[in-house]
Amino acid sequence: MSQFKYSEQQLEKAFQARVDAEQKIEPKDWMPEAYRKNLIRQMSQHAHSEVIGMQPEGNWISRAPTLRRKMVLLAKVQDEGGHALYLYSATETLGVTRDELIEALHDGRAKYASIFNYPSLSWADIGAIGWLVDGAAIVNQITLQRTSYGPYARAMVRICKEESFHQRQGYESLMVLANGSPEQKAMAQDALNRWWWPALMMFGPHDGESAHSAQSMKWKIKRKSNDELRQAFIDQTMPQIEFLGLTVPDPEMKWNEQRGSYDHGEIDWDEFQRVINGDGPCNRDRIEHHKKAHAEGAWVRDALRAYESKKRQRLAA
């Protein structure tokens, strides 16, 4: 391709025109190398987040307070594994292998949502994760249903549909605690206090500071800016906090009549940087656990391959 400079420019122009016209890019289409790379980065980060996100919730499956809560949590964690699979497979349509993606996760080149580096300390955290973490993810994912890459957009449609119960079960579970004994209500408040700020950080840095945002918006990989999405999340969540009778852990949170939106306090960006660069409460645990699970599952993958080759030999004989 490189010896035809002009034609590559033309290709790029046609590509951008297609994106501008709200048409999807499909796997066999020509696309700029940087678009492909950017997508692999974002989609694999999304997939890794689904997988690593199973850890803080999985932590409570064996200790769920009732059988119903346990079945619900199992179903949710199972969904997250499935969502990772959709996303890994969609990423692989860009010409990268699953092994390469896992390797990048293990050696730290690939990131995942930094919120999963926080521990789930009490049962109330499970409600808070469903309500706030899935809630924030849904705000983001709804806009990604219109992302420019076809396989990613279609995976998002399926994920959003399946995920509709994740947030509701979390909120329902917190409603029980918030209307329970003073101790239970305190648990709910404590969970909100610890998960609120990390949930806001899920939307990433302010628009001006976001490394990939401008190009991603031009390519319509991203459809709304970090700050727009964060504001939408805050505006939809504040009434839900009030309904629970809990207090948002932000003394500067205030309804702005003029904007028709909430004004909020500044996020601790030092903490954000620290956690994203590997120094959160659970970063090492999360990756160690993933490496361990991956290594311990090797015999299953080996067995599948051995079975397949035996079957093939039998057919050939």
Partner 1 sequence: MSSEQQLKLFEVFVRSKRGLDHKHVGSLHAEDAEQALEYARDCYTRRSEGVSIWVVNSSDIVASQEEDAESFYDPMDDKPYRHATHYQLPDAVNNM
Q: Which is nearer to partner 1, 122 or 240 (CB)?
A: 240
198 contacts: CB under 8 Å, gap ≥ 6: 114, 115, 118, 275
d(CA 205, CA 272) in angstroms, rounded, equals: 9
Q: Which is nearer to partner 1, 75 or 293 (CB)?
A: 75
Tell me how far, at minimum, the Cβ of 279 lies from partner 1, in Å. Answer: 33
Q: Which is nearer to partner 1, 172 or 227 (CB)?
A: 172
Tell me how far, at minimum, the Cβ of 232 lies from partner 1, in Å. Answer: 12
Question: Which among 102, 82, 105 has a CA at the least distance from the CA of 92?
Answer: 102
Tell me how far, at minimum, the Cβ of 18 lies from partner 1, in Å. Answer: 8
Q: Which is nearer to partner 1, 220 or 290 (CB)?
A: 220
Cβ atoms of 53 and 125 closer than 8 Å: no
Q: Which is nearer to partner 1, 156 or 282 (CB)?
A: 156
Tell me how far, at minimum, the Cβ of 155 lies from partner 1, in Å. Answer: 11
User: Which amino acid is located at 180 in the chain?
Assistant: G
Angle at which helix 150-178 crosses helix 182-201, to 10 degrees, equals 160
Helices then strands, each counted (H, E), the chain: 14, 2
d(CA 60, CA 57) in angstroms, rounded, equals: 6
Angle at which helix 226-244 crosses helix 150-178, to 10 degrees, equals 20
Question: What would you report as the CA-atom Rg of the chain, rounded to the nearest whole angstrom?
Answer: 22
Q: Which is nearer to partner 1, 153 or 267 (CB)?
A: 153
Tell me how far, at minimum, the Cβ of 142 lies from partner 1, in Å. Answer: 12
d(CA 70, CA 35) in angstroms, rounded, equals: 41
Residue with tokens 């999963």: 116
- In angstroms, how far is the first alpha carbon of the chain from the final one? 46
Tell me how far, at minimum, the Cβ of 71 lies from partner 1, in Å. Answer: 6
Residue with tokens 């490496």: 291
Q: Which is nearer to partner 1, 21 or 295 (CB)?
A: 21
Tell me how far, at minimum, the Cβ of 312 lies from partner 1, in Å. Answer: 15
Binding site for partner 1 (CB under 8 A): 23-24, 26, 28, 68, 71-72, 75, 79, 135, 150, 153-154, 162, 164-165, 167-169, 171-172, 175, 236, 239-240, 243
